[in-house]
């Protein structure tokens, strides 16, 4: 092994060690670079899978050198982590914004209608990030346990937002509180199904068509255990 820090003797060739990653000092350039690389990686991960996609392929798709990738990420896993985290962040922000807007809306007096609107808004946000959702189902298992924890925490926050949207209907006796967590998690999976099993829904040309039927299923599921459902038996 050739030492890189020793005095040079006449006629000795000194071989430099590995170059350290170049520090990107401009925060905006750093964010833009990470976003460009993540977008390039998303398509490759979906087409070939996370493990079968080398960093050099991601770099080529992003139009940069392989070494430049490490100016923005510590490795391929961090790229996957950013892609999945961004998708959940968008879904959570969209749902939160819808719930806040509807909470102060004067035209929504029916608590069931309020929940339906919030749930539809969430499902529509999933449609807008369909590729990310599909990748999450395919490759979240590829992350180290500590990297998966923030994603699971955010999923729980999304479930809590949907539960909060259902609370007015529960208090009114229109929705049942039994197995509420199971109901909400099931509805989240059904919203994801538009992205994950889109091929199976040929009878639904658009997300709106799918949600027109799905909201009926959602309301029936949420009513189970409520006083209204018991009175109808």
Q: What mean pLDDT do residues 66-80 have?
A: 92
In the Cβ-directed half-sphere of 148, how many Cα atoms lie within 13 Å? 9
Can you tell me the distance from the alpha carbon of 27 to that of 15, in angstroms, rounded to the nearest whole number? 33
Position with higher pLDDT, 15 vs 5: 5
Binning pLDDT at 50, 70 and 90, where does residue 22 land? low
Given a contact cutoff of 8 angstroms between Cβ atoms, the answer to whether 164 and 229 are in contact is: no
Tell whether the model's pLDDT for residue 60 goes beyond 70: yes
Q: Residue ranges of the domains in the chain?
A: 20-73, 77-228
Q: Enter the DSSP assignment of 141.
A: G
Tell whether the model's pLDDT for residue 3 goes beyond 80: no
**What is the share, in percent, of the chain residues with pLDDT greater than 70?**
85
Can you tell me the distance from the alpha carbon of 188 to that of 140, in angstroms, rounded to the nearest whole number? 17
Tell whether the model's pLDDT for residue 103 goes beyond 70: yes
Q: Fold for 20-73, please state it.
A: Arc Repressor Mutant, subunit A (1.10.10)
CATH number, span 77-228: 1.10.357.10
Q: What mean pLDDT do residues 147-171 have?
A: 89
Scored b (16 or more CB within 10 A) or e, 210-220 reads: bbeebbeebbe
In the Cβ-directed half-sphere of 95, how many Cα atoms lie within 13 Å? 28
């Amino acid at each position: 092994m050739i030492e890189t820090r020793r005095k040079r003797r006449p006629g000795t060739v000194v071989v430099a060690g590995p170059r350290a990653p170049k520090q990107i000092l401009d925060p905006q350039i750093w964010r833009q670079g990470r976003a460009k690389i993540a977008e390039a990686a998303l398509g490759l991960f979906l087409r070939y899978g996370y493990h079968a996609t080398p960093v050099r392929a991601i770099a080529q798709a992003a139009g940069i050198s392989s070494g430049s990738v490490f100016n923005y990420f510590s490795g391929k896993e961090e790229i996957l982590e950013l892609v999945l985290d961004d998708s959940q962040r968008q879904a959570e922000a969209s749902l939160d914004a819808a719930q806040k807007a509807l909470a102060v809306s004067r035209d929504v007096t029916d608590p069931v209608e309020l929940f339906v609107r919030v749930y539809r808004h969430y499902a529509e946000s999933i449609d807008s990030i369909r590729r990310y959702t599909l990748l999450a189902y395919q490759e979240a298992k590829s992350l180290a346990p500590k990297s998966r924890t923030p994603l699971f925490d955010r999923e729980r926050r999304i479930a809590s937002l949907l539960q909060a949207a259902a609370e007015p209907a529960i208090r009114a006796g229109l929705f049942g509180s039994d197995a509420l967590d199971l109901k909400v998690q099931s509805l989240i999976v059904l919203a994801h199904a538009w992205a994950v099993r889109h091929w199976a829904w040929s009878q639904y040309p658009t997300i709106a068509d799918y949600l027109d039927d799905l909201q009926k299923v959602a309301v029936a599921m949420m009513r189970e255990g409520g006083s209204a459902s018991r009175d109808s038996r």
